[in-house]
Structures are given as structure tokens and as C-alpha cells.
Amino acid sequence: MNQMRIYRRFVRAKRGISTIFGGLFFIILILMGFNLVIWGFIQYDNYNSTLFKMNQNDQLSASENLVPFNPGAQNFTSYSFNIPVNNLGGTTVSIGRIYITNVSPTGGTRCTNSDPNSQGPCIVDSSGTQNCAGNGNCYFTNGNIAAGEINHLIHVTGLRIDDGSGYKVILSSTRGRLFSFFYPWPVTPTNNGNGQGTFVTNIGPLSIYFDFKSFNFTQGFQTQSQSAFCMPSGGPYVLWVKLANTATDSGVTLLGNTMMELQPYSANGFGQFVRTWLVSPTSINPGSITPYNSNPPPVGNPYFLPAAGPNGAAGSTIVYFGGNGQGGTGGVNLGNTDNWLTFIGFYYVYRGQPQGETIPFMDIRTTAGYPPPAGTCP
């Protein structure tokens, strides 16, 4: 009997232990499932955080717009020079490396495959661990360019590129963007005997010419333009402006909100200003004005300026102003004898991003006695 009682107690105890172990196992399963859910949330949060950082980096990279400008390299000393740049983008640009390639070794083999020091393009880092030209370690300083900074000088030490060869210089940002130029700076159109191309303003990727053959106007159904520095005070007329794209990395498409504003000397309020917008590339005179549409053909007929080549701009383009509003027509009318300060707001797409500059442009004269006696515009 005692043995039976002991056995029954053992069985009941065994059942209790089994129940406890079963409960613990169930709790463990619940905790494991809970941990799995928490782990899934953490991984998803990490994924979203990484995706956000990547998108943010892509946006910052796309907003970089570093523009080297004429002469490309300057302030040469024995073995150093400066690279002048403008930061026209919306974020600070940090240069991580500079590549310099001799593309026309007429002055020497430096920075070519046959150069024993560089064995290819000269590579210039900020740390200066490589002697890329046989003149001591090559390095650069002042490689951080703040947003909106103009005429920033990146200083390169260890070589010079004014030996008579032609060089391609590539500035690589820490976000992976590349900005390049050629030295000597590509030659722009020069005086060909009739004053064409003598004067030019370079802002951003655009070169705007303002000599006697590049800033013109037409009246009525004229097909031969005349210099717009002296114009009749009546109208309407179409104004002609010549420009070119000097950027080697992208074409430029002008947008319809590109506008010219003319302010007379006698103006005492905004109501006396004259504004005119881009019109179609076929609008060579007031009799042929059609609205401007920057959409690709066949819907539109945009002003597209192709990217420049290693020897300079692919060619110049005449753009016409004569709209009385964006996408309008009507021609330009200047109703009194006066001098006019002329500004142009260029707005365009460059490297897939919208960008714009305001050009302080011309001082022109209108007269009721047009055409005036030779050499005067009273």
C-alpha cells in the first residue's frame, strides 16, 4: 500500500512538472515570435533609414553644380597654380581628387602614359602622397566650395599645366560628381574683321556676345538685322541675342520664362519698364512671331545649345525676344527717345536641372529720328 501511494504521488508530481515545462515552452515560443516581430520592425526601420540616406545623398549629389570658368587655371608659380570655380548649386561641394590628362603633348609628355612619373593621368589628392610630375608630391588645398561661392580658388601644388600642351582637368567631388574643363581654355569666336565675337560675357555654361553683329533687331518683315545699340523709338521689333554653350558636359535648353527687361533712364517707377520674352526660333521679325514652346519636337521648337567640344563651343545660336508675355507674341515696343539699361534673365535646363542667371547686359539708345546721321544717335 505504501508503495502504491508513493507511486501515485510520483505520477502526480510528474504530471505537474510536465505542465510546468509545457507552459515554459509555450512562453518561449511566444517570446521568440515577439522577438522575431521586433527584429522585423528593426530591419525595416534600418532599411527605410538607409534608403532615406541614399535618396538624400542622391539629391545632394544632383544639386552639385560646380562651374570652372575662364581661364580655367591661373596664378602659375614654379610648380603650382589655382583653379577658379563658381558653385552655382544648392550645397557645399568637396573635391576629393583631381585628374589631369595631357591630351595634346606638344609641350611635353607630362601626365601621359609615357610619363615615367605619372604613368598615365596625373592624380592629385588632398593628402599629397604621390609625386605625379617629378617635382615633389602633388596635392591640392582649399577643396571645399560653399554653396553660392563665386571665384573660389582651388590651389594645386606639384605640377603646372602652362607648358604649351593641352590638358583636360577633371574635378571629382566626394559625392561622385565630375566637373571638367580644358586648359588652355577653349577659344571662343574672335574678331573676323567685322566686329563679330569681340565682346563676350561668360556666366554659368553660357557665353553671351554683345558686339555690333551679335545684339541686333528687325522691324516689319526684315530678314537682315541691324545693330540694336541705336534703335527707333517706335516699334514693334524683334531683338536678336547671340549666345553659345561652353559647358563640355551637357547641352542647354532655354525655358520659356527667359525674359529681357529694358529700363529707361527717365523711369521713375516699375510701370515704365518694358519686358519681353523668348519667341520661337522662326520669329526673325515682327511679321513672323510665333510663341515659344520649350517642349521637344514635334510639340515644341526649343532653343537647344549642344555641349561644347574640346576645342570650344559647338557653335553660336541666335535667340529672339519679342513676346509680350511668357509664350506670347506682339513684338517689342519702346515708345520714347531715351537710353535703356537692359537686363536678361536666362532660365534653362542644364544637366537635367533647372538653373538661371541674370545678365546685366546693354545700354542702348532709342531715337525718333532713326536712322540718325552717321556716327550719332542723338
Q: What CATH number does residue 263 fall under? A: 2.70.50
Q: Are residues 169 and 254 in the same domain?
A: no
Task: Determine the pLDDT at residue 190.
Answer: 42
pLDDT (tens digit per residue) in 88-145: 877 889 999 999 988 877 778 889 888 888 888 899 998 887 888 888 889 999 999 9
Q: Are residues 224 and 312 in the same domain?
A: yes
Q: Among 183, 212, 235, which residue terminates a domain? A: 183
What average pLDDT does this structure show over 302-328? Answer: 87
168-196 burial, b at 16+ Cβ within 10 Å, e below that, comes to bbebbbebebebebbbbbbebbeeeeeeb
SS3 category, 124: strand
Q: Are residues 235 and 356 in the same domain?
A: yes
- Asked whether residue 3 is assigned to any structural domain, the reply reads no
Contact 293, 254 (CB under 8 A): no
How many domains in the chain? 2
DSSP state at residue 309? B
Q: Are residues 224 and 352 in the same domain?
A: yes
Contact 205, 109 (CB under 8 A): no
As a whole number of angstroms, the distance between CA 343 and CA 309 comes to 29
Q: Are residues 82 and 225 in the same domain?
A: no
pLDDT (tens digit per residue) in 165-199: 888 899 999 888 888 888 887 644 444 434 444 57
- Asked whether residue 12 is assigned to any structural domain, the reply reads no
Residues spanned by the domain of 93: 66-183
Q: Are residues 363 and 216 in the same domain?
A: yes
DSSP 26-76: HHHHHHHHHHHHHHHHHHHHHHHHHHHHHHHHHHHHHH--EEE-TTSSB--
Q: Are residues 349 and 211 in the same domain?
A: yes
Task: Determine the pLDDT at residue 148.
Answer: 83
Closest CA to 99 of 70, 63, 138, 137: 138
Tell me what the pLDDT averaged over the chain comes to: 82
Kindly state the cell numbers that stand for 347: 532660365
pLDDT greater than 80 at residue 2:
no
- Asked whether residue 253 is assigned to any structural domain, the reply reads yes
Which residues, 6+ apart, have CB-to-CB distance to 7 below 8 Å?
none
Element (H, E) at 92: none
Q: Are residues 171 and 232 in the same domain?
A: no
Contact 156, 171 (CB under 8 A): no
SS3 category, 114: coil
- Asked whether residue 375 is assigned to any structural domain, the reply reads no
- Asked whether residue 156 is assigned to any structural domain, the reply reads yes
Give 27: exposed, middle or buried? Use CB within 10 Å, 0-12, 13-18, 19+: exposed
- Asked whether residue 288 is assigned to any structural domain, the reply reads yes
pLDDT (tens digit per residue) in 70-98: 888 888 888 899 999 998 877 889 999 99
Q: Are residues 144 and 255 in the same domain?
A: no
Split at pLDDT 50, 70, 90, the class of 6 is low
What average pLDDT does this structure show over 289-301? Answer: 90
SS3 category, 86: strand
pLDDT greater than 80 at residue 149:
yes
As a whole number of angstroms, the distance between CA 196 and CA 198 comes to 6
Kindly state the cell numbers that stand for 373: 546721321
Closest CA to 67 of 173, 208, 159: 173
CATH of the domain at 138: 2.60.40
Contact 350, 304 (CB under 8 A): no
Q: Among 151, 183, 215, which residue terminates a domain? A: 183
Q: What percentage of the chain's residues is helix, strand, coil (to nearest 5)? A: 20, 35, 45
Q: Are residues 209 and 299 in the same domain?
A: yes
As a whole number of angstroms, the distance between CA 214 and CA 207 comes to 12
Q: Is this model's pTM higher than 0.75 or not?
A: no
Q: Among 183, 209, 243, which residue terminates a domain? A: 183
- Asked whether residue 281 is assigned to any structural domain, the reply reads yes
Q: Are residues 149 and 295 in the same domain?
A: no
Q: Are residues 101 and 247 in the same domain?
A: no
Contact 186, 193 (CB under 8 A): no
* Residue 207: how many other CB atoms lie within 10 Å: 23
- Asked whether residue 252 is assigned to any structural domain, the reply reads yes
